[in-house]
Structure 1
Amino acid sequence: MAADRAGFVVIPAGDGWEPIEVGESATSVYRRGAVFAKCCDVAGVPALEGERDRVAWLAGTGLPGATVVDWLSSSEDGACLLTSAVPGVAGIDLPSWGWLGAMETLGRTLRELHSVPDCPFERPLESVVAAAEDVVRRGAVNPDFLTDEWRERTPESLLAQVVAESPYVASVAEPGVCHGDACLPNVFFDPLTLRVTGFIDVGRLGVADRYSDLALTTIQLYDVWSVDPTPFLTSYGLTDPDRRRLEFYRLLDPLTWG
């Protein structure tokens, strides 16, 4: 791997790597053919190691997705995770004619993910709330992640609502292997069959309340595709969702990025 300034890996060694825009990630991402390279500085190594281990574990479950191709690390420059590309089209780029079928296959596949046994990774609610507390304390909440209604309130008041609701949510939690950021850019589909071809960006994967995934997916379907998410929930096997939990996780998630 190579770096153009001390302490930050910018690109793996070799020619032909093209930079990729990756939204909210704190890493630099490149692609060469069917391989992606995600690179970080020294401070980001523990998180990238965690993502590496999650990619490898998920690949061993039989669910479709990426595989670890290589891992490069340096005590001075940081690290670089190389993974295979997931075939297909990201959900955010899927044409409208496929949305209904995609919702149905996504519901079944997410339910399958949530049911995988013996996951070694955990993402307990108390740790996620603690992360939100840290983001709010640092004044790092991104207003672009909030609804118009939430932007009219202070981050502190939003966090207080989360903390007040946490005991109820914890008392009814249904643990499963959750993606942790189950948004449309992170799930890929075969553009013809509409089957799910894999999940990407699994750095937050771990055992958590299934509603933490369901909340993000349903609000994405509503906001991005402008569709009623009922077919997704029905395919998942949920005909009477807990609206209170959906709203809780929809509010909690944007407070954890920052």
Structure 2
Amino acid sequence: MKGWEPVTVGESDASVYRRGDVFAKCCGPDGVSELRDERDRAEWLAGTPIPCATVVDWVESADGACLMTTAVPGVPGDALAAEDQAGAMASLGRVFRELHSLTDCPFERPLASVVALAEDVVRRGAVNPAYLTDEWRKLAPVELLERVVAERPYAESVQELAVCHGDACLPNVFFDPSTLEVTGLIDLGRLGIADRYIDLALLTIQIHDEWSADPAPFLTSYGLPHPDQRRLEFYRRLDPLTWG
């Protein structure tokens, strides 16, 4: 793409480019449906008070598709200076509380579909070991999946449905490095109605692993100082099995 610089960070299967304040995410024919889902969710979220990347253009042809969005100002959470990470947790908690309080979302991500996705990834032998903890790498992916399936009835019995990001990792949350306020959310392809713990599980483990910090200030700001640890563990084990 002439005039566009390739972006090499991130884990998207699509090709990503930047020109000025616009990002372009491009895919072949097999990825059009998934990229269209991301476009639709970004357009919906942009109509709410939650800051996010906004859609600039969409191009689709027999060769694939390209989604163009605005660049969110600031820096991603995993690039925040170490001395700023604790201060950023208050803003992080507030924004996700507000996200989970939204209504009238037309997109759903039921637990049954997430588990089905994990079953497909495991069946194809496509689980990425880089997403697993050292402890989980000692087990076959099918064993991890069996633990998820065994805990699914409990997770379903206590789920609290909300508008969730679905891939709430720190690189997908941008902050103003001066004020430490959240400036926007990106990579919205998994956004939809789901158990709010699907976001909380990822955020708390990311804070622990990436920031080497106790997530308690984030949870307090969010309004849940004493989360259900069993449910957090369920979604932490499920998420790595859905990428592949």
Inter-partner Cα distance in structure 2 for 1:195 and 1:104: 8
Which ranges of 4 or more aligned residues in structure 1 deviate by more than 2 Å?
none
2:146 & 2:52 partners in 1: Cα distance?
37
Partners of 1:170 and 1:138 in 2: how far apart?
26
Equivalent positions of 1:189-208 (< 5 A) are 189-208=175-194
Instruction: Show the counterpart of 1:51.
Output: 38
**1:12-48 Cα shifts (integer Å, max 9, x gaps):** xxx3200002432110000000000000000100000
Contact 1:101 1:194 (C-alpha < 8 Å) held by counterparts: yes
Q: Which amino acid aligns with 1:107?
A: G
Within the candidate set 53, 69, 85, 1:66 is matched to 53
Aligned partners of 2:193, 2:9: CA distance in 1, in Å? 25
TM-fit CA distance, 1:215 = 0.3
Amino acid at match of 1:56: E
Give, in angstroms, the shift of residue 65 of structure 1. Answer: 1.2
Query: Which residue in 2 is equivalent to 1:25?
Result: 12
- Measure, in 1, the Cα distance between the counterparts of 2:49 and 2:10: 28
Deviation at 1:97, TM superposition (A): 1.5
In structure 1, the gaps of 5 or more residues are: 1-10
The amino acid of 1:94's aligned partner reads L
Q: Do the aligned residues in 2 keep the contact of 1:22 with 1:29 (CA within 8 Å)?
A: no
Q: Distance in 2 between matches of 1:223 and 1:100?
A: 14
Aligned partner letter, 1:205: L
Q: How does 1:87-236 map to 2 (within 5 A)?
A: 87-236=73-222
In 2: Cα distance, 1:217 partner to 1:239 partner: 14
Q: Give the corresponding residue for 1:247.
A: 233
TM-score of the superposed pair, with normalisation by structure 2: 0.99
8 A Cα contact 1:67 1:84, kept in partner: yes
Larger RCO (CA under 8 A, 6+ residues apart):
2
SS at match of 2:57: strand
CA distance in 1, matches of 2:73, 2:58: 21
TM-score by length of 1: 0.93
Percent identical among aligned pairs is 70
Unaligned 5+ runs, structure 2: none
Residue identity in the other structure for 2:118 = A
State the Cα distance separating 1:98 from its structure 2 match: 1.1
**CA RMSD after TM alignment:** 0.7
